[in-house]
Each structure stands twice: as structure tokens, then as C-alpha cells.
Amino acid sequence: MKAAALGQELIDLFDRGFSLDPLARPGPDEWRRALIRALHNCWVHDCGQAFVADKTTVNCPGCGAAIFILQTVSQLKIQFLPAGPRYGVELKDRVPIVLGRNNMPGLSPVVSGRHLEILPSQGKPLLRHVGRNPTLILQKGQWYQLKEAWVDMPTIAEPIQLRLADHELNIGSN
């Protein structure tokens, strides 16, 4: 493996880890944060090389092929539970994302063609129920019927948990 695959941040940390000056060496928290960030930015190129991408990454460290990493594109990751289909939908400000049978084949007829609308607005999603049967949202361990609500941008660790009629799903984001 080439060192470049680690990404510049980890390379810098390793260098400082072997510094002669003990005070310059990174502490456990700094290692932990950098490693978590690296995991989130880990990619596998078509050639099989795994690497950590950062803003300066323009070539695969394995085969040298030019690569293009869209750092700015954020996605909602929609997963039907317990092991249903997953969807990745690009998040664009003021562009509504509609979930329902129209664009998610395989859902049962109790889910409407257009069931839930997600409107990203300055980093916060507005959820709006537009279906026939209810949408439920889990908040602090309780299911509530959703009409319209602003929610915090979900993460992988803290997804939005919903029921579209009888289908349970999580919405996270990258």
C-alpha cells in the first residue's frame, strides 16, 4: 500500500506521532477524530485500491487514474427496514424529494404514489406528509403522526426513523 492512500491528514499525524518533542505528538482524541473522518472519506477505486480522499485527491493512489470526488454533493441515504432496498438521493437546496410508490417500486399499495415530501432548505429538511395512509415519525422513543415538521439533518448515527403506512425506513445522510 502506498502511504498516499492514507490521506494527508493521517500522514501528518503519523509524522507528528514520531516527533522528538513529546508535546508535538497527537493525543488519543486527535487520533480518534482523524480516524473517524478517514473512515467517512474512505473510497475503493475500480482497481481495488482503498484510499482516504481529501480535497487534494485527484488520482487513485493505486493505479494513478484520474478520479473526481464530489466533496460537495450530499445525499440522503434511504433504507427500508429490516433489510429492504436502499436509495441514495442527491440533496439540493429547495428541490423537493418525494418518496412513494411512484419512484420506489416494490412498496405495498398502502403506500401512496406520493407519500412523503422532503424539502431541503438551508441545511434543514422539511418533512411533509402527502400520502393517504399516515406517516409516523419516531421522536424520543415515541411514534407520532407526521403532518409537517422541520427536522435536523440526519446522520448515519442518528437517522430519521419513519413509517410510511406499514413500511418502516431510516433516512440518513453522508
Output the nine-digit C-alpha cell for 156. Answer: 448515519
Number of residues counted as binding Zn ion (CB under 5 A): 6
Of the pair 45, 128, the CB lying nearest Zn ion is at 45
Of the pair 49, 57, the CB lying nearest Zn ion is at 49
Contact call for residues 116 and 129 (beta carbons, < 8 A): yes
Alpha carbon dihedral 99, 102, 106, 108, in 10-degree steps, equals: 80
Tell me how many degrees the CA angle 45-47-50 measures, rounded to the nearest 5.
45
- Provide, rounded to whole angstroms, the least separation between the CB of residue 67 and Zn ion: 8
Output the nine-digit C-alpha cell for 14. Answer: 503519523
- Provide, rounded to whole angstroms, the least separation between the CB of residue 62 and Zn ion: 4
Q: Would you count residue 49 as binding Zn ion (CB under 5 A)?
A: yes
Sheet (strand 142-145) strand order: 86-90, 75-80, 167-173, 160-164, 135-139, 142-145
| Residues 9-48 contacting Zn ion, CB under 5 A | 45, 47
- Provide, rounded to whole angstroms, the least separation between the CB of residue 52 and Zn ion: 14
Contacts with Zn ion, 60-79, as mask; x by CB under 5 A: x-xx----------------
- Provide, rounded to whole angstroms, the least separation between the CB of residue 68 and Zn ion: 13
Binding interface with Zn ion (CB under 5 A) = 45, 47, 49, 60, 62-63
